[in-house]
Amino acid sequence: MMDDSLINQDPEAVEATQELLDYTNWLFSQDPKFILSVAQLDQLPPADTLEIAFAGRSNVGKSSLLNALVRKHNLARTSNTPGRTQMLNFFSLSERLLFVDLPGYGYAEAPLKIIANWNKTLRQYLMGRPSLRRVFLLIDARHGIKEKDLEMMTMLDEVAVNYQLVLTKIDKISQTELTAIEEKTRKIAEKHTACHPELLITSSEKKIGIDQVQQTIAALILDDLKR
């Protein structure tokens, strides 16, 4: 079985100072709350709180990662049916942080017109959201970056929204496969201007790499508080 000790420490990782560890503990001991589901952009909550969005293909594990981060099984709805999350779902963690669970893309069975509409809504959301501090773009470690992910990365580069890649479901692959996919993913990430250099590596199922994601989030808030 794979555990945290097998993950190579990424040189780009945030430095885990005592202050950061304390703040991370405090933040993730707060009670997460569901705020609202948004189908149209005129329904968005006020953009006055630091926001972090979870994007990626249908079924990649966005809702599961969110639940693992806040240690709740059923905050965000997970499912075996791809395309379950159809709206922008907002959650709060303390008064400092909003999480957004974005609808998954690449769900082939959705009608083209609906896909086109969602893409438009998503782009408008990404472009017009000053409080959106980072997008976690989730990539299934078994499959790596796919065409639809590249399109998403290019869109994020264009709208200049800072994003960070997160490998998911690493419990499903071997250590050798993980090393290979890490290398491949980093190579692609390097070419994208708005992509953060640190690659996060996770399993929501086995709770691997979750603290590193938590620390990354806490560090973003601490940064803003110090400004």
Which of residues 71 and 187 has its CB atom nearest to ligand GTP in the complex?
71
Residue 151 three-state SS? helix
CB nearer to ligand GTP: pick between 143 and 191 = 143
Residue 106 found at the interface with ligand GTP (CB under 6 A): no
Starting from the edge strand earliest in sequence, which strands make up the sheet with 50-56, in order?
Answer: 32-38, 88-93, 97-101, 50-56, 132-140, 163-168, 200-201
Quick one: which of 24, 59, 85, 164 contacts Mg ion (CB under 5 A)? 85
Residue 185 in contact with Mg ion, rule: CB under 5 A = no
Q: Are strands 132-140 and 88-93 parallel, antiparallel or unpaired?
A: unpaired
CA distance 48 to 31: 19
For the bound state, the minimum distance from the C-beta of residue 62 to Mg ion, rounded and expressed in Å, comes to 5
| Binding partner selected for residue 24 from ligand GTP, Mg ion, none, CB under the kind-specific 5 to 8 Å limit | none
Fill in the DSSP letter of residue 57: B
Q: CA–CA separation, 39 vs 220, rounded Å?
A: 27
58 binds, among ligand GTP, Mg ion, none (CB under 5 to 8 A by kind): ligand GTP
What is the pairing mode between strands 50-56 and 132-140?
Answer: parallel
Least distance (Å) from ligand GTP to the CB of residue 36?
17
Binding range to Mg ion, per CB under 5 A, among 62-70, 156-164, 177-185, 213-221: 62-70
Report whether 132 contacts 102 (CB < 8 A): no
Q: Rule CB under 6 A: which residues touch ligand GTP?
A: 56, 58-64, 78-80, 82-85, 104, 168-169, 171-172, 203-205
Q: Rule CB under 5 A: which residues touch Mg ion?
A: 62-63, 85
